[in-house]
Structure 1
């Protein structure tokens, strides 16, 4: 699978030298995602680092703001002990137009489901149980006054792409039916720090047994049920080639209960189920958005969000296209809908 280009590696080497960071080798890592290139930095002294080099901003932020946002994500989550430490940033430059982040290199293996779900539940609890900062201290992370309304608004904004995604009328109708099932309000919607991107492929199991959430780009103060859903929904557990699994209902129930036991005080069941439906619909509407946008030309001005195919290995694009078509099929929509109904009465 293609890795960062030689020019990109040379640009990174130049910026590391400019920053006075000593190393003896740069090893490009496989291109497996849509948002970053990754390079393993074998340091001359001390533990190894990984350079995260943005290809785009999934938060639709310009380069400087994107780096500031991701910096805050790593800094806010690190006290929980289940995310990589952040060691520094490389500012945007002519060589690296979107800059880069320098983070702890995690030595471990990919997560396996369902056996690693307890460790992942503990990792999420470490994130969600952190004290909530004062309103004045929450920036630059998103911190909506009403996190449920913010989630609904984001889903419905993405749903505007349904008309441009060239889906069948039956699929579009079914998605709109699910959208209508989202409650306008929740009775138990206290925010916590959340990742908002916890699909299982974003976890590594450290050599010491900890689950480590390695991709921190979209953190915010929102509803923890979103992270639980994003970890265990069919549209998440079957996304990543290296960690694909179809969870049973009992797997999902055990995962939620492990998290509840670790957290102690948790949202009520109706809130958790509503978050699960909303997260699923966020994924479906994202698929519609990607389907409509991904053939656009590359963002030459490096402004923010960019799903153009030129940025990513064609094999990754083919994989994403396959998953998007699968998740937007009627039988899979019906499958996830049925699981939601069963979970509602089982948790």
Structure 2
């Protein structure tokens, strides 16, 4: 699978030198995602990883994107289950979007369902952290449920341009109508908002580490639980695909509850699961509409241009998008939500 280009590595080397950061060698890592290139920085002592943005999934310009991602790593690291942030390379002519230098995590990819208990502990370490007095620059809506519903409905506008069958479009709209207008329990915590299993590495000691932190905010922890265990998440990553049983999902939720001092009620957890699923479906509709649009990656925040990413990754994303937007899979997740409401 292609890796960051030689020109990209040369640019990183020059920026590291300019910042006075010593290293031994740079090893490009496989291109497996839509938002970043990754380079392993071999150093004496602890190795680092350079995260070099291709775009901002938060639709932020380069400097704001770096500030936001920096805050994600700084706010989450006290929990002990995320990489430490070491330094930031500002945007430059060499690296127009700059880069983050974070702790290199040695470990294997998470496997489901066996690693779900460790992932539940990692999420609890994030969600248990006290809210800071100053929450900016991370998103911190007054009503996190209303903010989530609003974001889902905003993305749902792309359904009109996604060229889906009328049956699928109508069904997704029916699911949107099932989102409750209000929840009784909307206590916010620090959440990742991007906890699909492919974003976790498992250390030799069994500890799960959430390595990809770009979308953190102060919101409802049920969103993270859903994003970890929904069908649309557990079957996303090629190397860790799994279809969880209802019993495995329930055990995962209960393991997380046991690690928390207080937890939301069942209605809130299931509502968050539905909303997260619909966020994923509407994101798929958005990607389906936009992924071939060529844009200037240096001037735009969010950019799904196919030329920014390895074609094999694009093919994989296209396959998953078509799968998740199919009627049988929509029916499957809907049925699971009904069963979870009655069992959790």
Q: Shorter-chain TM-score: what band?
A: over 0.9
Question: Against the structure 1 CA distance between its residues 300 and 339, is the aligned structure 2 distance closer, same or farther, given a 3 Å change threshold?
Answer: closer
Structure 1: stretches of 5+ with no match in the other structure: none
Q: In the alignment, does 2:331 pair up with 1:334?
A: yes
Task: Output aligned runs, 1:1-347, within 5 Å.
Answer: 1-43=1-43, 45-134=44-133, 137-347=134-344
Counterpart of 1:277 in 2: which secondary structure? helix
In 1, Cα distance between equivalents of 2:299 and 2:305: 12
Q: Which runs of 4+ in 1 moved over 4 A?
A: none
In 2, Cα distance between equivalents of 1:93 and 1:121: 39
Tell me the alpha carbon deviations over residues 163-189 of structure 1, each in whole angstroms, 9 at most, x when there is no partner.
000000000000000000000000011
In 1, Cα distance between equivalents of 2:243 and 2:108: 20
In 2, Cα distance between equivalents of 1:205 and 1:300: 33
In 2, Cα distance between equivalents of 1:170 and 1:74: 42
In 1, Cα distance between equivalents of 2:136 and 2:279: 23
In 2, Cα distance between equivalents of 1:167 and 1:270: 31
In 2, Cα distance between equivalents of 1:92 and 1:303: 14
In 1, Cα distance between equivalents of 2:131 and 2:24: 41
In 1, Cα distance between equivalents of 2:181 and 2:138: 24
In 2, Cα distance between equivalents of 1:280 and 1:325: 15
Counterpart of 2:243 in 1: which secondary structure? coil
Using the TM superposition, give the Cα deviation of residue 209 of structure 1 relative to its aligned residue in structure 2, in angstroms: 1.3
Equivalent residues, number: 344
In 2, Cα distance between equivalents of 1:154 and 1:162: 14
Counterpart of 2:100 in 1: which secondary structure? strand
Counterpart of 2:60 in 1: which secondary structure? coil
Counterpart of 1:89 in 2: which secondary structure? strand
In 2, Cα distance between equivalents of 1:209 and 1:336: 30
Counterpart of 2:212 in 1: which secondary structure? coil
Using the TM superposition, give the Cα deviation of residue 303 of structure 1 relative to its aligned residue in structure 2, in angstroms: 2.2
In 2, Cα distance between equivalents of 1:121 and 1:55: 30
In 1, Cα distance between equivalents of 2:257 and 2:113: 17
Using the TM superposition, give the Cα deviation of residue 265 of structure 1 relative to its aligned residue in structure 2, in angstroms: 1.0
Tell me the alpha carbon deviations over residues 22-48 of structure 1, each in whole angstroms, 9 at most, x when there is no partner.
1111000000000000000001x2200
Tell me the alpha carbon deviations over residues 236-263 of structure 1, each in whole angstroms, 9 at most, x when there is no partner.
0000001000000010000000000000
Asked if structure 2 preserves the Cα contact closer than 8 Å seen for 1:56 and 1:302, the reply is no
Counterpart of 1:23 in 2: which secondary structure? coil
Asked if structure 2 preserves the Cα contact closer than 8 Å seen for 1:298 and 1:310, the reply is no
In 2, Cα distance between equivalents of 1:216 and 1:299: 24
